[in-house]
Amino acid sequence: MTRVFSGIQPSGDLHLGNYLGALRRFVDDQHEHDSVFCIVDLHALTLPHDAAALPGKTLEAAAMYLAAGLDPEVCTLFVQSQVHEHAELAWLMECNAAYGELSRMTQFKDKSARGEFVSAGLFTYPALMAADILLYDTDRVPVGDDQRQHLEFARDVAERFNSRFGPTFVVPEAAIPTVAARVMDLQNPTNKMSKSVSSPQGTVLMLDAPKDIEKKIKRAVTDTDNEVRFDIEAKPGVSNLLGVLSAATGEPPEKLAERYDQYGPLKADTAAAVIELLRPVQERYAELIADEAELRRILAAGADKAQAIASVTMARARSAVGLLPR
């Protein structure tokens, strides 16, 4: 069975785009592949962060992934820092990564241009990410398009390591969706829905109350010609609503478009569909987040399962580079 691995930043503010574009796919993946999902709290340390808030955010991320349908009996869900092999293998990755190669990472350039304190950890971020992936003999890594360069880096380091020290790692493939469910910002439908943009009204958060979801969708920016047609170029706002309604109902957007001749009913139906789509996830989330002991138990069991795999790979890598066993 192919092994799938993906990492998720611990952020409490997951939105509808994350759900339709990533989370929901992970939930399907778990039944077809041997799936490992990691909440990457060590990566969260690369930028200035609120230490007091991080444990809570880590638990919230876990609860949201479970609420979305990841089943800890079927897949492995764990916290990166609870499996020490990640930090350990990251060092071996750093020693096999070229300074020039890390300097070319566009995400490092973007993030370091924004911050005042640029940590060495931000620079070596891709080496830790490569360690995450290689520890699990991963075949496929489902990620968004923005992670393409990091994935290429992980492949390059794996190949370099294997050629320097002998076959040690599986070289992973990226799995980047071709027909990405790209959910656009409701206020600015030519931009991707994202938690970092300035318009909170354009982003439906996973935990938004039904009345807020309704308000945001009813106020979505469309256009003035009042014709319901699926045409992303000419009608980005209307097409985004049709895309969301399609993702929620499973019907093709072109076919849905035929049913409406006004924006009002399209918005009302889209709002209702999103509310119904998120309702069971929100209900499960409320139960899960209320039982911290159970969440911790699930994550501890996940860390045990993960470590059973990671420790074997780590031992192989230590031996390959010539570290003396204790």
Which residues neighbour 301 within 8 Å (Cβ) at sequence distance 6 or greater? 72
Q: Which of 7, 12, 21, 237 binds ligand AMP (CB under 6 A)?
A: 21
Find the shortest distance in angstroms from Cβ 110 to ligand TRP.
12
> Which residue, 141 or 184, is less far from ligand TRP as judged by CB?
141
CA distance linking residue 104 with residue 272, whole number of Å = 45
> Which residue, 9 or 226, is less far from ligand AMP as judged by CB?
9
Nearest CA to 38 among 307, 292, 314? 307
Is 7 among the residues that bind ligand TRP (CB under 6 A)? yes
Find the shortest distance in angstroms from Cβ 116 to ligand AMP.
22
* Cβ–Cβ < 8 Å for 86, 46: no
* Cβ–Cβ < 8 Å for 10, 58: yes
Handedness of CA 67, 69, 70, 72 (dihedral sign): positive
CA distance linking residue 288 with residue 326, whole number of Å = 42
Is 193 among the residues that bind ligand AMP (CB under 6 A)? yes
Question: CA angle, 46 as apex, 42 and 51 as ends, to 5°?
Answer: 70
Supply 92's token pair: 């071996």
- Tokens 């592949």, located at residue: 33
Q: Which of 192, 229, 284, 305 binds ligand AMP (CB under 6 A)?
A: 192
* Cβ–Cβ < 8 Å for 150, 81: no
Q: Which of 133, 158, 184, 238 binds ligand TRP (CB under 6 A)?
A: 133
Site string (153-192) toward ligand TRP, x via CB under 6 A: ----------------------------------------
CA distance linking residue 115 with residue 95, whole number of Å = 26
Query: Which residue of the set 195, 216, 235, 267 is catalytic?
Result: 195
CA distance linking residue 124 with residue 241, whole number of Å = 39
> Which residue, 194 or 282, is less far from ligand AMP as judged by CB?
194
211 is catalytic: no
Find the shortest distance in angstroms from Cβ 177 to ligand AMP.
8
Which residues in 128-147 contact ligand AMP (CB under 6 A)?
A: 143-144
Q: Which of 170, 171, 181, 272 binds ligand AMP (CB under 6 A)?
A: 181
Nearest CA to 40 among 50, 29, 54? 54
CA distance linking residue 296 with residue 48, whole number of Å = 25
* Cβ–Cβ < 8 Å for 181, 234: no
From ligand AMP, ligand TRP, none, interface partner of 43 (C-beta below 5 to 8 A by class): ligand TRP
Is 81 among the residues that bind ligand TRP (CB under 6 A)? no
215 is catalytic: no
Supply 130's token pair: 């490569």
Is 183 among the residues that bind ligand AMP (CB under 6 A)? yes
Which residues in 231-290 contact ligand TRP (CB under 6 A)?
A: none
Is 129 among the residues that bind ligand TRP (CB under 6 A)? yes
For residue 118, report the phi and psi dihedrals to the nearest 5 degrees.
Answer: -100, 105
Is 18 among the residues that bind ligand AMP (CB under 6 A)? yes
From ligand TRP, ligand AMP, none, interface partner of 129 (C-beta below 5 to 8 A by class): ligand TRP
Is 147 among the residues that bind ligand TRP (CB under 6 A)? yes
192 is catalytic: yes
CA distance linking residue 50 with residue 55, whole number of Å = 10
List interacting residues with ligand TRP (CB under 6 A). Answer: 5-7, 9, 40, 43, 129, 132-133, 141, 143, 147, 150
Q: Return the active site residues.
A: 111, 192, 195
